[in-house]
Amino acid sequence: MSYKKININTALPGKAKSRVMIIYTGGTLGMTYDDTGVLIPFDFSLILEQLPVLRNLFLDITVVSFNTPVDSSNIQPEHWQTIGEIIFEHYNDQDGFVVLHGTDTMAFTASAISFMLPDLAKPVIFTGAQLPIREPRSDARENLITALEIASAKADGKPLVPEVCIYFDYELLRGNRSKKVESMHFDAFKSENYPTLAKAGVKIDYNYPAIRNQVSKELKLFKKFDTRISVLKLFPGIDKRTVDAVLKTEGLKALILETYGSGNAPSVDWFIASLKEAIDQGVLILNISQCPGGMVVQGKYETSKSLTEIGVISGGDMTMEAAVTKLMVLLGEFGVEKCKQLINSPVAGEIS
């Protein structure tokens, strides 16, 4: 995928506080209006005209922009591969990264990048906006400025937040613990099962105990994805035809079963039999709760005991977004059998 680079040095020569790379993939934050009122991609070479306050950050900024911005509803694993490759390629010459991305699939992309770069020890901060940057009430300016500040923040020469995060509406969240929960208000993301990593007020208040204390290692890049997975969300009245239509998808490698509450599902014979037949044929079935908070505890109730007995794997408190992307990466890199061993063990802080 083609992209272009722009250098924007907001510091005096040799005086930059940090080197930060902005990766613009698309999304509302990078849009502006032309003379006729039509939304068009923003020219990042003019960013200091829109945000002169950037000069006060004293950063050496490199902007990498997709030549064709991608609406986040069109994001695919090949876009994740490009983002991961850019970070991997520039990892040693940058102190941090800010990824500008549409909000609809931001939690999927942030999760995917965390699994692609499991030994990451530098900040990768995803952010975006609900309104374009030139809108008078836009949230784009504050989101971008604070994301840059977090990506560049250090203590004793080490980054304060060495992990993949989402910054939105004054809160910093672990990327693979986040979900988009709001389409009309500025507080678009929540992390129900993990504490907020930082809150931005008069100053940025970091929650240090919640931030990953990652030991710096040689960075690895996992960029193989196997997308032969599916998601089956349970609902009262679901029938055998629907369940079997999903389970019998040609080439299916793994299924995310979105269950009720703490991992509960119908205990009727046909349902358990259909799941067992798929598992016996080598399909990995992962149990993820439909609830945004809490976790799967298979066997807590009679309605989940049968799932454990037939070999359904508990997803604990993983989000659906983390489960989807983690499965794709592990299946792509290691195959089904190894994935079964690794899927419910933490890779990047995505599961308790």
Q: Tell me which residues are annotated as active site.
A: 28
Tell me 176's DSSP state.
Answer: G
Left if phi > 0, otherwise alpha if psi is -120 to 50, otherwise beta: which for 261? Answer: left
Please give the helix or strand (H or E) that residue 8 lies within, else none: strand 3-9
Report the distance separating Cα 192 and Cα 247, nearest Å: 30
Please give the helix or strand (H or E) that residue 23 lies within, else none: strand 18-24
Report the distance separating Cα 192 and Cα 319, nearest Å: 9
Q: Is the dihedral of CA 125, 126, 131, 135 positive or negative?
A: positive
**Contacts for 337-341 with beta carbons within 8 Å, 24 or more apart?**
339/254, 339/284, 340/284, 340/313
